[in-house]
Every structure is written in structure tokens, then in C-alpha cells.
């Protein structure tokens, strides 16, 4: 099993690189990765040629066009079409070239905006999506359904893992486009360096959010690779959430910032709560291992070691 040829699409990203590290650690020694300049996954012919030449046994799809609310709002067509092109080319070529195992990675945004909490896999397609990222979500839902269709029609072991909010090494710390946790790490750090200035944070701090370290997701992917699951769709998360205010205090303590926190309530809060039901993954024998505090500490350490690559920020 450890000699199987595994192609990781998106191996340079936060998720793909974590999966690569986890597989190497487990003794997998036949991994393939291609940068976007080496292989444009939107190009069907290029993807077919790649599969014809490499003939991977396993494909892990961690490639996607991603971005925040602003990017999704400004480029709806690209978010829909490019994500569908990437995954359709990978899934269809995997079927054609008899890839036995395919692991498709999505996002919790595939679930309806007003679905009951915690989010169960059964809630898929049971209501309207969150308008701010529906283009990305629709593409990902199509990927989930394509893998499900292949399971039904061809009996292949193609599964979909839907992670909650991810963070960790190689995260995006650009304050214009980053998600809440890396943005907080950077804001508190910059404010500390500048003499513990006050840190302004968006919203009221009351929404509840769940966070999963990317190394835990990578561990779940390795688990899915080593085991055969009965179903096609599984949530991956911690099953625990906390208010954004509590998250801010955790980050502040880890960073060592001693100034004030100022909450700008004129800014939107977003969805009040987004928690994954992870009982299906727990039932098959997997659960998250990295505590949030431990994860924030290691992510901050990575930030410190790599901050020369980040642009200057004005507090």
C-alpha cells in the first residue's frame, strides 16, 4: 500500500502540503505533485495527458480556486467555472484511467445557510446556500455528487471529505484576504511589536465558530486512504466551537499582546453559528487530536519563522 502512486492535486497549498507531509511521515514514498505552471488543471487535454503518462493509483483533490467574500462576490463566474473545470477534469480522468481511490476535499459552505446546527451530511441540498459563497459551494456540491455517482455506477472507492474552518502552517496572513484566525494572529503580533497598541476586530465577537488544524485534516485524509468507508460524504472537524471573542483572547494570550481589544460592531458578524456534526467520522474511527490552543501556538511559531515573506501592515 505504501508504494501506491498517489497524485496530490494542489500539493503546494496549505491543505495539499499538509497531506504531503502526513503521507511522507506514514511511509508513503511514491507521491506526485505538479505546480499550476507545470499542469493547468483547467485544461482537459493537459490533465488527460498527465493521467495517461503517470497512471496514478490514488488521487487526492486539494486543488481549488479559493477566496473570501469579496473575491466570491467580484468573480462569481470564475469561482463556479474554474472549480468545476479543475474537479471535473480530475474526477473524469480518474474514472477513465481506472484510479481506484479518489479523495475529494470540499468545505462546510456546501451546506444550506440556515441548516440546523450541528451540520449533518444529510442536510446537503436541503435549503438555500449562503449567497456570499454560493458559486464556490455549487461547484463543490457538483464534485461531491460526481464522486457519489461514480460510486453508485462503477463501484469505485471515491469519497468526499468536508472540513470545517482550517488554519495552520502556510495559511494566508494577508489582512485583505485572510480568514479570521490568521488575521487575528497577524493583527495581535503587529500591535504587540508596535508597543501593544489596541487591536480593532470586526463585529460583536458573539458568533460561534469551529476550527480544525490542517494537520488534523491531513491525518483524516491518511485515515481515509488506509480504510474503506461505507458512505461517500463525511464531515471533518472537531465537533466543538467557541465564540469569536474567546478565540481572540486565546490568540492574544499566545501572541503575548497586552493591549486592548476594540470590537467594531458596525462590521458584519456573518452566520451566528457554523458547527459540523462529526459523528460519522468518529463512528468509522477517526477524531481530531490537536487542541485549539496547541494549534494556535504552533501556527504562531510558523508565522514568526516566515513573517519576512509577509508585507508590512499598518495597524
Q: What domains can you pick out in the chain, each with its CATH number?
A: 6-167+211-236 (3.40.50.720), 180-208+240-274+290-309 (3.90.25.10)
Mean pLDDT of 128-156: 95
pLDDT-derived band at 126 (thresholds 50, 70, 90) equals: very high
Q: Is 202 one of the annotated binding-site residues?
A: yes
**Distances 295 to 14, 28, 179, 290 between C-alpha atoms, Å:** 14, 25, 16, 6
Q: Global pTM?
A: 0.94
Ligand-binding site membership of 144 (annotated): no
- Whether the pLDDT of residue 252 is over 50: the answer is yes
Asked if residue 178 belongs to a known ligand binding site, the reply is no
User: Is 187 assigned a ligand-binding role in the annotation?
Assistant: yes
Number of CB atoms found within 10 A of residue 230's CB: 8
Residue 136 annotated as catalytic: yes
Confidence of residue 34 (pLDDT cuts 50, 70, 90): very high
Residue listed under C-alpha cell 498517489: 6
189 is in an annotated binding site: no
| C-alpha distance across the termini of the chain, in Å | 51
From the candidates 136, 158, 167, 300, give the one annotated as an active-site residue: 136
Measured distance CA(257)–CA(26) in Å, rounded: 37
φ, ψ for residue 144, nearest 5 deg: -60, -45
- When pLDDT is cut at 50, 70 and 90, the band that residue 309 belongs to is confident
Amino acid at each position: 500500500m505504501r508504494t501506491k502512486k498517489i497524485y496530490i492535486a494542489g500539493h503546494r497549498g496549505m491543505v495539499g502540503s499538509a497531506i504531503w507531509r502526513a503521507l511522507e511521515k506514514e511511509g508513503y514514498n511514491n507521491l506526485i505533485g505538479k505546480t499550476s505552471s507545470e499542469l493547468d488543471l483547467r485544461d482537459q487535454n493537459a490533465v488527460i495527458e498527465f493521467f495517461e503518462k503517470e497512471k496514478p493509483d490514488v488521487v487526492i483533490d486539494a486543488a481549488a480556486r479559493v477566496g473570501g467574500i469579496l473575491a466570491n462576490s467580484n468573480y462569481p463566474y470564475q469561482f463556479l467555472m474554474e472549480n468545476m473545470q479543475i474537479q471535473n477534469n480530475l474526477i473524469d480522468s480518474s474514472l477513465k484511467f481506472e484510479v481506484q481511490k479518489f479523495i475529494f476535499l470540499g468545505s462546510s459552505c456546501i451546506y444550506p445557510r440556515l441548516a440546523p446546527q450541528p451540520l449533518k451530511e444529510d442536510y446537503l441540498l436541503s435549503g438555500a446556500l449562503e449567497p456570499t459563497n454560493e458559486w464556490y459551494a455549487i461547484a463543490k456540491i457538483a464534485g461531491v455528487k460526481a464522486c457519489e455517482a461514480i460510486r453508485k455506477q462503477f463501484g469505485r472507492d471515491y469519497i468526499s471529505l468536508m472540513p470545517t474552518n482550517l488554519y495552520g502552517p502556510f495559511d494566508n496572513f494577508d489582512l485583505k484576504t485572510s480568514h479570521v484566525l490568521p488575521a487575528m494572529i497577524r493583527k495581535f503580533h503587529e500591535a504587540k511589536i508596535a508597543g501593544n497598541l489596541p487591536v480593532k476586530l470586526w463585529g460583536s465577537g458573539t458568533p460561534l465558530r469551529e476550527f480544525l488544524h490542517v494537520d488534523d485534516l491531513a491525518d483524516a485524509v491518511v485515515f481515509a486512504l488506509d480504510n474503506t468507508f461505507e458512505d461517500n460524504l463525511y464531515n471533518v472537524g472537531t465537533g466543538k466551537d467557541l465564540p469569536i471573542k474567546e478565540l481572540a483572547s486565546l490568540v492574544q494570550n499566545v501572541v503575548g499582546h497586552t493591549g486592548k481589544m476594540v470590537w467594531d460592531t458596525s462590521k458584519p458578524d456573518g452566520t451566528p453559528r457554523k458547527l459540523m456534526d462529526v459523528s460519522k467520522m468518529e463512528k468509522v474511527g477517526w477524531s481530531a487530536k490537536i487542541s485549539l490552543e496547541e494549534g494556535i501556538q504552533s501556527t504562531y511559531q510558523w508565522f514568526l519563522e516566515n513573517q519576512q515573506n509577509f508585507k508590512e501592515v499598518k495597524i
